[in-house]
Amino acid sequence: MRPTYLEVNLPQLKQNLENIRKHVSPAKVLVVLKANAYGHGVDGVAPFIAPFADYIGVAIVEEGIHLRKMGIATPILVMGGTLPGQLPDFFEYDLTLAASSLDLLTAAEQLAESARKRLKVHLKIDTGMERIGVREYEAEPLLEKSWACRHLDIEGIFTHFANSEATAPRAERLSGFVEAKLQLKRFQEVLSMYEKRNQPQPAIRHMANSGATLSLRESYFDMVRPGVLFYGVYPARDIEKTIEVKTALAWKSQVVYSKITLPGRGVSYGSLWQAEAPTRTVTIPCGYADGYLRRMSNQARVIINGKSYPQVGRVCMDQFMVNVGGDDVRVGDEVTMLGEGIAPEELADWAGTNEYEVMTNISARVPRIFVGAVQ
C-alpha cells in the first residue's frame, strides 16, 4: 500500500449520526453520501452506515447505481438534476427521483405507465437557490400534475437552503438569516396549497441541511439532510454548535527523502522558497493529484513526530517538501496532514476555499483504511 493514505473512523461517523438523530427526533435522517462520501470513501462508509440511516442522498444517478450494486438496500434519493433519458435507471435500480420540473414528472409518469412499474418521487421546489426545481410561485401546476399521477408514488417534497449557515442566533442581523427565514416561509406557502385543495401532503417533507439542522428547528419537518455535519465538520465557523460532532478523517504519509538544503538553493518549481541557513528539508509522497491542493503552497503545515512543521516550496503533483529545521527527521517517519490538531478548516484556509472542497478533492488514488469496519 502507498505510504500516503486516509484513515476513516467509522464508529465516529456512527456517533455523529446518533447525535444528530437524537437532536432532530422524531424527524428522520437522510445521510448524504455523494462525492465519494465527501471524500471519505463510499465503498467503506456506505455498507457500515446504511443500516443506521433512514434515507441516503446522492447527487447523480451513477452514484445511486453504484450503491445498489454494492448491495445497499436503504432508500436512495438522487437529489441532482436528471435528464428524461436517465429515467429507466431509476426503475431498474429502485432509486427515488427528484422531480425538478413539470416535464420530468410527466415523463416519469408516462414511463411508469408503459413499463407497468411504480417509481418513488420527491417533488423539488426552488425557494431561493436558483439551481434546480420549480420556483415556489410556479409550483401549483407541478402539484396538480402530481395529484393526477396514477403510476408514481409521490413520497416526498423538498427544497434546499442557500444561506442556512447564517441562522446562528448571533448572526440574526445578517442578510443570510433573513434569506433563510424567507425560504422557509416560501416552502410553507407551497405546503399550504395541499390543504387549500384538500390534498394530503407527501409523507416526507424535508428542507434542513447541515446549517439548518443546527439552528432552525422549524425547518426539520419529517426529515433532515445533514451533509458535512455528518462527517464531523460544522458548516460555518461561528455557527452555534448545538450538536456535538467530530471529524473522522486522518490523512497520513511517511517521509521518503531527507536532506540538507543549502542557502540559495530554491525548493520546488518556481524556486518560491529558499533556506536562509543550512536546514533539513524532507519530501512527502503526496501532491495535488492526491488532493493536497497546489494553492496551499508555502501555507500548509504538517505534524511529524508530534511536532508541527511548515510546508515549503510549491506543492507538486505527487510530492511536497517540508522544512524541519535542525531536527533529525528521517526517512520512514510518519507525517500527518489532516488530524492530530490539523482540522479540515485549516486546510481550507490555506487553500482559500471551504472544507467541502478540501475533503471531496482527496483523490481516489489515496487508499482508504476504514477503522471499525465489519470484517
Claim to verify: residue 16 and residue 145 sit in the same structural domain: yes
Domain boundary among 224, 240, 275: 224
244 inside domain: no
pLDDT at 158: 98
Round to whole Å and give the CA distance between 11 and 18.
Answer: 10
Q: What is the pLDDT of residues 53-103, one digit of tens each?
A: 999 999 999 999 999 999 999 999 999 999 999 999 999 999 999 999 999
Angle, CA 109 vertex, CA 108 and CA 114 arms, to 5°: 100
Active site residues: 34, 269
Average pLDDT, the chain: 95
Band of residue 13 on the pLDDT scale cut at 50, 70, 90: very high
Residues 119 and 210 in one domain: yes
**Does residue 265 fall inside a structural domain?**
yes
**pLDDT for 175 beyond 80:** no
181 and 77 in a single domain? The answer is yes
In a domain, 234, yes or no: no
- Which residues does residue 309 pair with via DSSP β-bridges, in sequence order? 302
258 and 208 fall within a common domain: no
- Asked, for residue 209, whether it belongs to a domain, the answer is yes
Total number of domains constituting the chain? 2
**Alpha-carbon gap, residue 165 to 239, rounded angstroms:** 7
Q: How do residues 180-235 score in pLDDT, each as one tens digit?
A: 899 999 999 999 999 999 999 999 999 999 999 998 999 999 999 999 999 999 99
* Residues 146 and 258 occupy one common structural domain: no
Nearest to 96 by CA among 125, 134, 124: 124
- 123 closest CA partner among 150, 151, 94, 152: 152
Whether the pLDDT of residue 173 is over 50: the answer is: no
The average pLDDT across 1-20 equals 97
CB 33 within 8 A of CB 45: yes
Structure confidence at residue 164 (pLDDT)? 79
| Sign of the CA dihedral running 38, 40, 44, 47 | negative
pLDDT (tens digit per residue) in 132-172? 999 999 999 999 999 999 999 999 999 999 987 764 455 45
Is 38 domain-assigned? yes
* Predicted confidence (pLDDT) per residue in 261-279, tens digit: 999 999 999 999 999 999 9
Exposed e or buried b for every residue in 161-191, given b needs 16+ CB within 10 A? bbbbbbbbeebeebebbebbbebbebbbebb
Question: Do 117 and 54 share a structural domain?
Answer: yes
Considering 224, 239, 267, which residue would you say is the last residue of a domain?
A: 224
Tell me the per-residue pLDDT of 325-360, one tens digit each, with 9 for 90 and over.
999 999 999 999 999 999 999 999 999 999 999 999
CATH of the domain at 141: 3.20.20.10
Say if residue 309's pLDDT is above 50.
Answer: yes
Residue 179 has a pLDDT of 86
Question: Do 318 and 217 share a domain, yes or no?
Answer: no
> Is 4 domain-assigned?
no
Specify the CATH number for the domain of residue 286: 2.40.37.10
CA distance 375 to 372: 9
Could you tell me if 215 and 297 lie in one domain? no
Please report where in the chains the cell 465557523 appears, as a residue: 237
**Which residue among 209, 224, 239 closes a domain?**
224
Same-domain status, 51 and 123: yes
At residue 192, the pLDDT reads: 97
Euclidean distance between CA atoms 111 and 214, whole angstroms: 39
Query: Which of 108-112, 118-122, 165-169 bottoms out in mean pLDDT, i.e. has the lowest?
Result: 165-169
133 and 277 assigned to the same domain: no
Rounded Cα distance between 234 and 11, Å, is 18
> Is 183:162 a contact under the CB 8 Å cutoff?
yes
**Residue 78 and residue 214 in one domain:** yes
Q: Does 236 reside within a domain?
A: no
Q: Is residue 241 part of a domain?
A: no
Instruction: Centre a 10 Å sphere on the Cβ of residue 342 and count the other Cβ atoms it contains.
Output: 19
193 in the same domain as 253? no
- Determine contact, residues 206/158, Cβ cutoff 8 Å: yes
Structural domain for 101, as ranges: 10-224
d(CA 159, CA 131): 11
